[in-house]
C-alpha cells in the first residue's frame, strides 16, 4: 500500500496538468512491474522465511545468501512480467537488454527485504517483552503460592512431632530425618529462586519429601515411588513436579491402603515424565485448596515456562486421580564441571 501510494503521488506530480492517459497508464504498468511485484515477493519472503529460519537461528551467512536469492527470484517475476507484456519499447529500447532493469529490481527487492526484517524484528522484540512481563507476573504469583504451599503448618508440625517421637526410639534415624527436613527448607529458600536447576536436585528434594511423609504412617506399602533413568546434567525449572505430589498426599486420607500413592518419574534422553496417581475417598466433600497449588495456576506456569514443549493430562476416576506430565528438556549442561 505504501508503494502504491508513492507511485500515484509520483505519477500525479509528473503528469500534473497533462491529459495523456495512455502514457500515464504505461508508466504505471512499468512501475508496477519494476517496483511493486519484486517488493511484495521480497517483503513476505524475508518476513515469513528468512527471519524465523535464519536470523532467529543466528545463521547470518546462510541468511545473507538466501536473502540475495530471494531478491533475485523476486526480480525475475518482474522480468517475466515485462516479457509477457511483449512490448519491445520496454526491454529492447537500448543495447543493454534486460540486465539493467534486473539489477535495479534486485536492489529494490533487497531494500524492501531489509524493511521487512526491521518490522519483523520490532514485532518479535515487542512480543518477547510482553511475554517476559507476563512470565514475571506469573512467577510472582507462583512464588506467593509456593510460599503458602511450602510453609504448610500441618506438614511441618506433623513432621517435627514424628521426629520427636522417633528420637525416643531411634535417635540416629531421627537425626537423619531432621537433616532431610533441613535440606527441604534450604531448597525452598534458595533453589526455587533460580529459573532452572539441575534435575538431580529436584529429584533429591522429592525423595526427601517422600521420606518425611513415610514416617507419618506404619504402612510400608502406602507409598510406591520409582525413578527410571539417569538425571545426569539435565536441567529443569524448580518445583515443577512437587505441587502434584503434594496434592496427592493432601487428598489421600486413608493411610492403611496399599499403594495408595504411586509416583513414577521416567527420564529419557530429551524428556522427563511424571506419573502421579493417588486414591481418595469420593464421598468426602471437596475442600478449597487453600494450602496447596491449584491446577489452574500450575498449568499457567507450565504454559509460560514450557510453551509447546510439555503435555499435561489430568485423569479423574471413581476413587483415583492420575497426573501425567511430559516435559521436553531443550536445555542441558553439556560441559563437565572443572576438577
Residue 137 lies in a domain: no
Asked whether residue 117 falls in the same domain as residue 193, the answer is no
Place of cell 531432621: 178
Lowest mean pLDDT, pick from 61-75, 77-91, 162-176, 302-316: 77-91
Q: Quick one: pLDDT at residue 289?
A: 44
Contact 222, 258 (CB under 8 A): yes
Is the pLDDT confidence value at 178 over 60? yes
Q: Which residue has the higher pLDDT, 333 or 309?
A: 309
Report the alpha-carbon distance of residue 309 to residue 302 in Å, rounded: 9
Residue 62 lies in a domain: yes
Asked whether residue 183 falls in the same domain as residue 300, the answer is yes
Report the alpha-carbon distance of residue 62 to residue 283 in Å, rounded: 64
pLDDT > 70: percent of the chain = 74
Is the pLDDT confidence value at 277 over 50? yes
Is the pLDDT confidence value at 74 over 80? yes
Residue 245 lies in a domain: yes
Asked whether residue 166 falls in the same domain as residue 101, the answer is no
Name the pLDDT band for 284 (thresholds 50, 70, 90): low
Report the alpha-carbon distance of residue 315 to residue 318 in Å, rounded: 10
What's the mean pLDDT in 264-287? 84
Is the pLDDT confidence value at 262 over 90? yes
Asked whether residue 116 falls in the same domain as residue 167, the answer is no
φ, ψ dihedrals at 311, nearest 5°: -135, 125
Report the alpha-carbon distance of residue 68 to residue 33 in Å, rounded: 19
Collect all residues with Cβ–Cβ distance below 8 Å to 322 and sequence separation of at least 6: 275, 276, 277, 313, 314, 315, 316
Q: Which residue has the higher pLDDT, 327 or 147?
A: 327
Q: How many domains does the chain have?
A: 2
Asked whether residue 202 falls in the same domain as residue 249, the answer is yes
Q: Would you say the C-alpha torsion 163, 164, 169, 172 has a positive or negative sign?
A: positive
Q: Quick one: pLDDT at residue 293?
A: 53
Is the pLDDT confidence value at 19 over 90? no
Task: Count the neighbouring beta carbons within 10 Å of the beta carbon of residue 316.
Answer: 10
CATH number at residue 185: 3.30.565.10
Name the pLDDT band for 17 (thresholds 50, 70, 90): low
Collect all residues with Cβ–Cβ distance below 8 Å to 38 and sequence separation of at least 6: 71, 74, 75, 77, 78, 105, 106, 108, 109, 112
Q: Quick one: pLDDT at residue 92?
A: 46
Name the pLDDT band for 155 (thresholds 50, 70, 90): low
Is the pLDDT confidence value at 312 over 90? yes
Is the pLDDT confidence value at 257 over 70? yes
Residue 335 lies in a domain: no
Is the pLDDT confidence value at 96 over 70? no
Asked whether residue 324 falls in the same domain as residue 196, the answer is yes
Asked whether residue 222 falls in the same domain as residue 158, the answer is yes
Q: Which residue has the higher pLDDT, 243 or 153?
A: 243
Asked whether residue 121 falls in the same domain as residue 164, the answer is no
H or E element in which residue 327 lies: strand 320-328
Dump pLDDT digits (tens) for 135-150.
777 776 666 565 545 5
Residue 115 lies in a domain: yes
Asked whether residue 156 falls in the same domain as residue 262, the answer is yes
Residue 142 lies in a domain: no
Residue 259 lies in a domain: yes
Helix spans in 86-152 (H): 88-91, 99-150
* Nine-digit cell string for 58: 543466528
Name the pLDDT band for 174 (thresholds 50, 70, 90): confident
Report the alpha-carbon distance of residue 23 to residue 19 in Å, rounded: 9
User: What is the signed CA dihedral for 145, 147, 150, 155, rounded to 10 degrees?
Assistant: -100
Asked whether residue 240 falls in the same domain as residue 172, the answer is yes
- Residues spanned by the domain of 73: 2-129
Q: Which of 97, 129, 161 is the last residue of a domain?
A: 129
φ, ψ dihedrals at 331, nearest 5°: -115, 125
Q: Which residue has the higher pLDDT, 91 or 253?
A: 253
What's the mean pLDDT in 226-243? 90
Query: At CB < 8 A and 24+ separation, what contacts does 82-90 make?
Result: 82/33, 85/29, 85/33, 90/30
Asked whether residue 293 falls in the same domain as residue 182, the answer is yes
What's the mean pLDDT in 23-47? 78
Contact 267, 233 (CB under 8 A): no
3-state helix, strand, coil in the chain (%, to 5): 60, 15, 25
Q: Which residue has the higher pLDDT, 168 or 158?
A: 168
Residue 109 lies in a domain: yes
Provide the mean pLDDT of the chain: 78
Asked whether residue 104 falls in the same domain as residue 232, the answer is no
Amino acid at each position: 500500500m505504501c508503494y502504491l501510494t508513492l507511485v500515484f503521488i509520483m505519477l500525479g506530480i509528473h503528469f500534473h496538468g497533462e491529459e495523456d492517459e495512455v502514457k500515464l497508464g504505461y508508466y504505471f504498468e512499468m512501475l508496477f512491474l519494476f517496483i511493486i511485484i519484486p517488493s511484495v515477493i521480497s517483503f513476505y519472503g524475508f518476513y515469513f522465511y528468512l527471519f524465523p529460519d535464519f536470523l532467529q537461528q543466528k545463521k547470518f551467512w546462510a541468511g545473507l545468501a538466501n536473502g540475495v536469492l530471494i531478491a533475485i527470484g523476486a526480480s525475475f517475476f518482474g522480468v517475466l512480467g515485462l516479457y509477457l507484456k511483449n512490448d519491445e519499447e520496454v526491454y529492447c529500447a537500448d543495447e543493454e537488454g534486460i540486465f539493467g532493469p534486473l539489477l535495479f529490481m534486485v536492489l529494490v527487492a533487497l531494500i524492501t527485504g531489509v524493511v521487512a526484517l526491521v518490522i519483523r524484528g520490532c514485532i518479535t522484540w515487542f512480543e518477547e517483552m510482553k511475554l517476559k512481563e507476563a512470565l514475571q507476573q506469573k512467577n510472582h504469583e507462583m512464588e506467593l503460592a509456593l510460599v503458602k504451599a511450602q510453609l504448610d503448618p500441618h506438614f511441618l508440625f506433623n513432621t517435627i512431632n514424628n521426629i520427636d517421637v522417633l528420637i525416643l526410639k531411634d535417635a540416629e534415624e531421627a537425626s537423619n530425618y531432621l537433616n532431610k527436613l533441613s535440606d527441604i527448607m534450604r531448597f525452598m529458600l534458595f533453589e526455587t529462586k533460580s529459573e532452572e536447576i539441575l534435575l538431580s536436585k529436584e529429584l533429591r528434594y522429592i525423595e526427601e519429601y517422600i521420606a518425611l511423609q513415610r514416617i507419618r504412617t506404619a504402612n510400608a506399602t502406602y507409598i510406591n515411588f520409582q525413578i527410571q533413568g539417569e538425571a545426569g546434567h539435565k536441567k529443569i525449572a524448580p518445583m515443577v513436579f512437587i505441587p502434584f505430589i503434594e496434592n496427592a498426599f493432601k487428598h489421600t486420607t486413608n493411610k492403611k491402603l496399599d499403594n495408595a500413592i504411586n509416583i513414577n518419574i521416567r527420564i529419557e534422553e530429551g524428556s522427563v515424565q511424571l506419573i502421579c496417581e493417588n486414591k481418595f475417598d469420593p464421598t468426602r466433600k471437596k475442600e478449597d485448596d487453600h494450602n496447596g497449588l491449584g491446577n489452574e495456576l500450575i498449568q499457567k506456569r507450565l504454559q509460560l515456562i514450557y510453551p509447546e514443549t510439555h503435555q499435561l493430562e489430568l485423569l479423574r476416576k471413581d476413587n483415583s486421580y492420575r497426573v501425567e506430565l511430559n516435559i521436553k528438556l531443550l536445555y542441558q549442561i553439556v560441559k563437565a564441571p572443572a576438577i
